[in-house]
A and B are shown apart, each in its own frame.
Chain A
């Protein structure tokens, strides 16, 4: 029993150290092992929420507990000899301890059905360090233990959650079962042991083979956490790579798949499933030979590991594969991370690349070593005794036919099948003299011996033979038997190295009749050795040369691709790590308030960021808004001018906004009216109707011709001077017209009004109101109110224009805005009956206007006092009063005519006849802006309604100035941190303007994004080719779409606000210090921070998107930033060195 053995070996060690000291040290060690395992298991439970029953952690813990229990056990006294002593102990205490009785019964049941516990579960996770005890116990002993019974009772007790109680029982009754100096009998250690196990006993254990929640989507957090655990205490992977990760697999000469995977993620790159499938007999490859438990010692592993060896015949030729057992059958309990270790170990050797097959036969096992064309040895393959090696070779020989063969061929022996050619057994050194061959040893199989076979490809050999026939003669090649005529078509690739290896004519090429050993002469031997040596020399030199050449080419690529990305001169960090503090800033400011040393500022910011308190003052410089060297006065002036400009622009678009609002309101009213009507009436609505409504809506929004209604009305005469009117006034008159003309046809149905569209101007827009009016009880009030409200807006607007004050305008916009949003709330109140609802829809419009008219009036006059009110806030305030205001304000006096005349002024005074297209395009942008502003960083306390309104103004102003660009999603995110920092609209806008000079190009209309992706590709390819290969292999995400948001928003969504500030400062400062494209290096740093997680989990395109989306705002920003700086430096040095 392994456990027993181990435990005993533990106790055997003990006496040496403990005759005097009662094994305190040993106990400490045992208990530490338990502690460690408990800790690991609990960690596993935390990350995964449950623990798999067959997890390595469980086994390890059980092992540790077993050793504790086994130590100092009074075996003799208790009569526990044969079986696992602790199991016997369990059965013994079952009489006294109910928990033990329960577990004991289970154990008996489980032993009765031995198949219950699958063997695969007992493997240890390779990445988890083995407990020290297991290390001490010899591996072979451990492995021989039948897994079914290993720690069985401890396992069951653990799963049944009884283990802690059983141990407690043992501890309490230790004197009966244990020696006095045993761990369990120790008052301290005993209780520690039982209390340690309380935790694991409380865990959930799962038997599920592949729990869906685990396999499908391990969340990003878990991946990172798991990686940290498995990585142990190592620090973040920032400095673990050399400056230029130029790796070239030694064997990757001709074919990617042909090489032994050299510990990189390449093997892992091919999907595990495909790999295992490829081991089967399938359409592309014939399985010639398969043997399990063939041992190979991969790199970095201490002893050979068993695995499955297979020989496949593919179209290209023979392939030998070896796969560790862990990959073959241990899939259930292992994890992705652990697997990768094994993937790296698996072997794949293409036979056509192998030249020599060395066989070393010893008493222990038969080893087979493949030597490639390049002279590199593959790891030895150890076959179990019993003729397996021979059968492998005979299969290999068969597989090589018809185009190739083993040289010398295997000896065919009647009855026993093939044997090793007797005469070919060679002693080292390798090309030794042949033996006479007549000593026929019957037990040759038992004797140790070395054999060398050459794999001959006839196709190549033929060609080579032709080419080198002269040479051969020159070196006195022995007389050869004539070659068999062979197919001259070569299926295998042959390069120069193949030829040179094949050319030595020492070994007979082919065509020897089997069973005949070649008689070699000494002269020929010497010549051949010479030739082999010269060939090797040549190869070594050429390899070195090609390596150097490739490296040079590589570097030149680096230079051409990357020299544009960084500045050639490296600015040293010396003393700048502290960043730009307030003291330094003040020290740099001269008496006129000017800052001159811009290089120093940039350098400080680049290496250390800006102290938060002075960010507000520094940012304008960093963004290039303030000039370095400008005096305080100049800057104040600049600010003033900027604000004036800002306010002027704002007043412009606010006018347009008012128009847009009005249109919106009508459009909404129209569609709602339409909708309610459709539902309320028995109108036979059909397809046409549906689309018609659409068109109607459109017409309301856009098709309204901005012309003056020729309809004679009192108001009309007062504005003969304006040829084009904004939409708002036209409604007024429409209403008036309607009052007179439409009231009489109240009872008519809607179809008729539709028809009248052509006759009456503006009727299309009226129509909806017509319909509504039909149902209105209080039609009379309606137009008046509406007129008043519009007049109100205009009056306000005018007042503002006169004052030149942006604030006032805001208020008027508020009032306009209320209209749109408020009727919603009044609908709520009036919801119950359709008729009522219908009415309310119509009435609300004016009613809110009225309600709003109260405050905006004062707002207009005392514009400076009233703060810019957010639409949202207004909605909240006004919605409560909406219902009431309707009644109270109903008898509003009709002073419309007077105010009406003023209404033209805002538009005209701003030069403002706005074309329909302009209004429309602004309307479109406005709606988008509002949608996005409302949901911009709502979780961040700064963004109250008031500040959101500022953000909206910044956006609108920018878009108004850049209508050709328009609003694009993401602009809000870029402006938000600026506003947070500057607090003030005008300056935030100015900074945003500067920021957008660079950022505009990132948006879909620009080209920068594609350039970023391309640069990222080159950078990764050069700085981390391992990662690049993974990205390339897995759904090829070298298009880097997962970085899209990073670049578009300058990492604003990836980092927390505080970190965004720092990251942005770095980006801005870097332009002048090290790189115009700091974003690239930040992205690279982010990627590199998690490269191990990405590689370990062989993430594909979707995995990586998900990973980074989940990791948003959880990065360690300062580490990322410094890694980014480091990467810049790497590239700079790389280019500098040439």
Chain B
């Protein structure tokens, strides 16, 4: 066993409905874009293993419902998050405006230990569309004003910047790092009888 402890990073994707949270997640994990996604109800997650600084980490990416009314459910899912991804639609200024409240809501519900330094990443999605209404500059400025949150302009449809953004997410989350081993792992197992194959063996072959 090369790496005994696996790192599990819990990432929450938030943002108004229809900004492309599900699409981003699926583009990153499955490298696929579909225009058949339905509105997310409840929550779903996908996992993906990524390598960050020569470490294999498992990202558990949670996709949530976009309508703010469903946020009350969030607390069950937000807890223990290592990073929060806020997504808006660059063609819809309102989705950008609600970033602030998404961020606040997350901090309230997830109540991380160090709210000021909790890693967020902002994604301006749908840059492949032409009717852009939120400039990169404006988004960037907002991000700067919020403790320099990293900002990426992505397109889940055309896979623009998605990989890069999630690499950053993984790295920032890892910095936050809460280690959670997958329970299948057996660290420091006792192997008293390496030669014994588990069948009955009588006699004084005590290995103690």
Is B49 a contact of A120 with CB atoms below 8 Å?
no
Binding-face segment, A569-577, A668-676, A1119-1127: A668-676
CB distance from A619 to the nearest CB of B (A): 23
Known: A273-B187, A279-B190, A697-B93. A292 touches B208 (CB 8 A): yes
Q: Does B117 contact A (CB under 8 A)?
A: no
In the complex formed, the residue of B with least CB distance to A831 is B130
Is A671 a contact of B93 with CB atoms below 8 Å?
yes
Task: Find chain B residues with CB under 8 A from A1106 CB.
Answer: 44-45
Binding-face segment, B69-77, B149-157, B161-169, B170-178: B69-77
Q: Does A1014 contact B (CB under 8 A)?
A: no
Is A938 a contact of B183 with CB atoms below 8 Å?
no
Known: A140-B200, A291-B208, A672-B133. A328 touches B44 (CB 8 A): no
CB under 8 Å from chain B, chain A span 679-719 = 679, 685-687, 690, 693-694, 697
CB distance from B21 to the nearest CB of A (A): 12
Task: Find chain A residues with CB under 8 A from B115 CB.
Answer: none
Q: Does B111 contact A (CB under 8 A)?
A: no
CB under 8 Å from chain A, chain B span 22-58 = 35-39, 41-45, 47, 49, 56, 58
Known: A212-B56, A1045-B41. A277 touches B69 (CB 8 A): no
Task: Find chain A residues with CB under 8 A from B192 CB.
Answer: 290, 292, 308, 328-329
Is B135 a contact of A675 with CB atoms below 8 Å?
yes
Q: Does A386 contact B (CB under 8 A)?
A: yes
Is A968 a contact of B67 with CB atoms below 8 Å?
yes
Is B41 a contact of A973 with CB atoms below 8 Å?
yes
Q: Does A336 contact B (CB under 8 A)?
A: yes
Q: Does A1048 contact B (CB under 8 A)?
A: yes
Task: Find chain B residues with CB under 8 A from A1049 CB.
Answer: 41
Is A931 a contact of B17 with CB atoms below 8 Å?
yes
Is B133 a contact of A671 with CB atoms below 8 Å?
yes
Task: Find chain A residues with CB under 8 A from B201 CB.
Answer: 143-144, 293, 306
In the complex formed, the residue of A with least CB distance to B6 is A216
- Among A119, A217, A685, A823, which residue has its beta carbon within 8 angstroms of that of B196? A119
- Among A679, A824, A968, which residue has its beta carbon within 8 angstroms of that of B130? A824
Task: Find chain B residues with CB under 8 A from A291 CB.
Answer: 206, 208
Task: Find chain B residues with CB under 8 A from A279 CB.
Answer: 190
Is B39 a contact of A972 with CB atoms below 8 Å?
yes
Is A306 a contact of B189 with CB atoms below 8 Å?
no
Rounded to whole angstroms, the CA-CA distance of A329 and B72 in the bound complex is 45
Q: Does A748 contact B (CB under 8 A)?
A: no
Rounded to whole angstroms, the CA-CA distance of A588 and B199 in the bound complex is 70
Is A932 a contact of B17 with CB atoms below 8 Å?
yes
Known: A384-B203, A970-B41. A687 touches B17 (CB 8 A): no
Report A594-610 CB contacts with B as 1/0, cut-off 8 Å.
Answer: 00000000000000000
Which one of A216, A685, A1042 has the greatest number of beta carbons of chain B within 10 Å?
Answer: A216
Is A969 a contact of B35 with CB atoms below 8 Å?
no
| Interface size of A in residues (CB-CB distance below 8 Å) | 94
Known: A210-B1, A292-B208, A1045-B41. A678 touches B196 (CB 8 A): no
In the complex formed, the residue of B with least CB distance to A820 is B131
Rounded to whole angstroms, the CA-CA distance of A291 and B43 in the bound complex is 48
CB distance from B69 to the nearest CB of A (A): 5
Task: Find chain A residues with CB under 8 A from B193 CB.
Answer: 292-293, 325, 328-329
Q: Does A330 contact B (CB under 8 A)?
A: yes
Task: Find chain B residues with CB under 8 A from A936 CB.
Answer: 38-39
In the complex formed, the residue of B with least CB distance to A821 is B131
Q: Does A303 contact B (CB under 8 A)?
A: yes
CB distance from B118 to the nearest CB of A (A): 21
CB under 8 Å from chain A, chain B span 65-97 = 65-67, 69-70, 72-73, 76-77, 93, 96-97
Rounded to whole angstroms, the CA-CA distance of A1044 and B76 in the bound complex is 12
Task: Find chain A residues with CB under 8 A from B137 CB.
Answer: 678, 685, 690
Is A272 a contact of B183 with CB atoms below 8 Å?
yes
Known: A306-B200, A385-B204, A1041-B42. A328 touches B69 (CB 8 A): no
Task: Find chain B residues with CB under 8 A from A235 CB.
Answer: none
CB distance from A381 to the nearest CB of B (A): 14
- Among A147, A292, A324, A938, which residue has its beta carbon within 8 angstroms of that of B35? A938
Rounded to whole angstroms, the CA-CA distance of A1041 and B199 in the bound complex is 44
Task: Find chain B residues with CB under 8 A from A385 CB.
Answer: 202-204
Is B194 a contact of A119 with CB atoms below 8 Å?
yes
Is B36 a contact of A969 with CB atoms below 8 Å?
no
Q: Does A276 contact B (CB under 8 A)?
A: yes
CB distance from B65 to the nearest CB of A (A): 6
Binding-face segment, B102-110, B119-127, B138-146: B138-146
Q: Does B185 contact A (CB under 8 A)?
A: yes
Q: Does B188 contact A (CB under 8 A)?
A: yes
Q: Does A232 contact B (CB under 8 A)?
A: no
Q: Does B179 contact A (CB under 8 A)?
A: no
Q: Does B181 contact A (CB under 8 A)?
A: yes
Q: Does A388 contact B (CB under 8 A)?
A: yes
Task: Find chain B residues with CB under 8 A from A216 CB.
Answer: 6, 47, 49, 58, 182
Task: Find chain A residues with CB under 8 A from B203 CB.
Answer: 384-386
Known: A273-B183, A277-B187, A685-B137. A672 touches B73 (CB 8 A): no
In the complex formed, the residue of A with least CB distance to B35 is A938
Known: A216-B58, A290-B208, A675-B133. A123 touches B197 (CB 8 A): yes
Is B190 a contact of A1005 with CB atoms below 8 Å?
no
Q: Does A139 contact B (CB under 8 A)?
A: yes
Q: Does A295 contact B (CB under 8 A)?
A: yes
CB distance from A515 to the nearest CB of B (A): 28
Task: Find chain A residues with CB under 8 A from B198 CB.
Answer: 120, 123, 306, 324-326, 329-330
Task: Find chain B residues with CB under 8 A from A1053 CB.
Answer: 38, 41
Report A263-293 CB contacts with B as 1/0, cut-off 8 Å.
Answer: 0000000011100110110000000001111
Task: Find chain B residues with CB under 8 A from A678 CB.
Answer: 135, 137
Q: Does A995 contact B (CB under 8 A)?
A: no
Q: Does A209 contact B (CB under 8 A)?
A: yes
Report A284-316 CB contacts with B as 1/0, cut-off 8 Å.
Answer: 000000111101000000011110100000000
Q: Does A828 contact B (CB under 8 A)?
A: yes
Rounded to whole angstroms, the CA-CA distance of A473 and B57 in the bound complex is 71
Is B183 a contact of A939 with CB atoms below 8 Å?
no
Report A90-121 CB contacts with B as 1/0, cut-off 8 Å.
Answer: 00000000000000000000000000000110
In the complex formed, the residue of A with least CB distance to B138 is A690
Is A675 a contact of B132 with CB atoms below 8 Å?
yes
Known: A694-B97, A1004-B72. A969 touches B202 (CB 8 A): no
In the complex formed, the residue of B with least CB distance to A679 is B135
Rounded to whole angstroms, the CA-CA distance of A441 and B139 in the bound complex is 92
Task: Find chain B residues with CB under 8 A from A1039 CB.
Answer: 76
CB distance from B169 to the nearest CB of A (A): 18
Known: A209-B1, A325-B196, A828-B130. A292 touches B207 (CB 8 A): yes
Rounded to whole angstroms, the CA-CA distance of A291 and B194 in the bound complex is 14
In the complex formed, the residue of A with least CB distance to B195 is A119
Q: Does A1003 contact B (CB under 8 A)?
A: yes
Is B41 a contact of A969 with CB atoms below 8 Å?
yes
Which one of B66, B138, B185 has the greatest number of beta carbons of chain A within 10 Å?
Answer: B138
Rounded to whole angstroms, the CA-CA distance of A969 and B39 in the bound complex is 7
Counting from the closest, the 8 A-B pairs by CB-CB distance are: A143-B199, A690-B138, A931-B18, A1044-B42, A671-B133, A1045-B42, A325-B198, A386-B204
Q: A324-B198, A935-B35 are in contact. List 18 more A-B contacts (CB 8 A).
A: A140-B200, A216-B49, A290-B192, A290-B208, A304-B200, A306-B201, A329-B198, A386-B206, A678-B137, A687-B145, A694-B93, A694-B96, A828-B130, A932-B17, A938-B38, A968-B69, A1044-B42, A1100-B183
Can you list 20 A-B contacts (CB < 8 A)?
A142-B199, A210-B185, A272-B184, A292-B206, A293-B196, A293-B206, A306-B196, A328-B190, A329-B191, A668-B131, A697-B93, A828-B130, A928-B67, A932-B17, A932-B39, A935-B36, A935-B37, A968-B67, A969-B66, A969-B67
Question: Which residues does B use to contact A, with CB under 8 Å?
Answer: 1, 6, 17-18, 35-39, 41-45, 47, 49, 56, 58, 60, 65-67, 69-70, 72-73, 76-77, 93, 96-97, 129-135, 137-138, 141-142, 145, 181-208
